[in-house]
Amino acid sequence: MSRLASILDAVVASVREPEPRTSDRRELLAGRGLEERDAAALAALDDRSFFVYRRLVRRTLASAVRVEMPRTAALLGERFDKEVEDFLSRGLSASHYLRDVAFELAQYAAETWPGAEGIPPFALDLARHELAAFQATSAPRRLGGRPVVAALDLDAPCSFDESVSLSRHDYPIHELALGQVTLEPAPTALLVYRDDEGDARFLKLSPVAASIVEHALEGVTLGAAIQRAARSHGSVLSEAMLAETASLLADLAERGVLLGRPAGPTTMGGT
């Protein structure tokens, strides 16, 4: 390892390692291939100078996370700062983009938050809910994408607005009011999308409707999506179910969620 690479490795360690202390400085620098003069110079720096990049990097990352999940941060209070710090100490971010850090934190939280003392059981759902909203509002507008026909065909897949996703939660997280700290569990499927004003919107779906949308978002044909949803819920393709499905599709089209079907040869997937 070159001299410069060794110094950079030491700087990265000063950012990455959890809660380094002055007495641990030599331990932190050990085994990084530093020349003795460089190790001595770094060890002689005071904490303010040595850890300046740590503070800058971590504050920037923590601020980016708060921007994307402000209600989760408010819910957890000081505990949120600790969770962010623990996450960053575990490995910082694997992405070059600030917007991805909050999503990585949510992945970390999925392993550590459930059952943790001091963290409400619906906190993870709230974090994911906020990130789904952020993703919907920041999705790029359709620019020169695949042509769409404003009609549906049972033998063709559906075309959705690029902001659309389906979120499944253990709690009705969309009903959580500002400042509310308790919430009763109830399996909830939410269609997430962006309205004409650019704001995130949420539509609660029934189990069957959620399955239809989920399969359709996967790219199977509309007919296959309906049949798979019916089978998975033990439903019969009755006139009543087909009428409800038609009503759902009309509602999604009116909301600008469902655009139609792709133009040209589009048959995909079976039943």
d(CA 117, CA 51): 31
Number of structural domains (the chain) is 2
What does pLDDT average to over the chain?
A: 89
Q: Which of 20, 18, 58 is nearest to 42 (CA)?
A: 20
> If you average pLDDT over each of 233-237, 249-253, 259-263, which comes out highest?
249-253
Give the strands of the sheet with 258-262, arranged side by side.
148-149, 258-262, 159-160
pLDDT tens by residue, 147-156: 889 999 999 9
Whole-structure pTM value: 0.83
Look at residue 109 and tell me if it is in a domain. no
Please give the Cα distance from 264 to 67 (Å, whole number): 41
pLDDT at 270: 53
Q: Are 152 and 40 contained in the same domain?
A: no
Q: Which domain holds residue 6?
A: 1-50
| Residue 22 falls inside a structural domain | yes
Determine, yes or no, domain membership for 16. yes
Nearby residues of 145 by Cβ (< 8 Å), 6 or more positions away? 162
Evaluate whether residue 20 is within a structural domain.
yes
Half-sphere exposure of 61 (CA within 13 A, CB side): 29
**Residue 41 Cα distances to 24, 29, 31, 51, angstroms:** 15, 11, 16, 14
User: Residue 235: which CATH number?
Assistant: 3.90.930.50
Kindly tell me if the per-residue pLDDT of 201 is higher than 90: yes
Kindly state whether residues 147 and 248 are assigned to the same domain.
yes
The answer to whether residue 84 sits within a structural domain is no
In a domain, 184, yes or no: yes
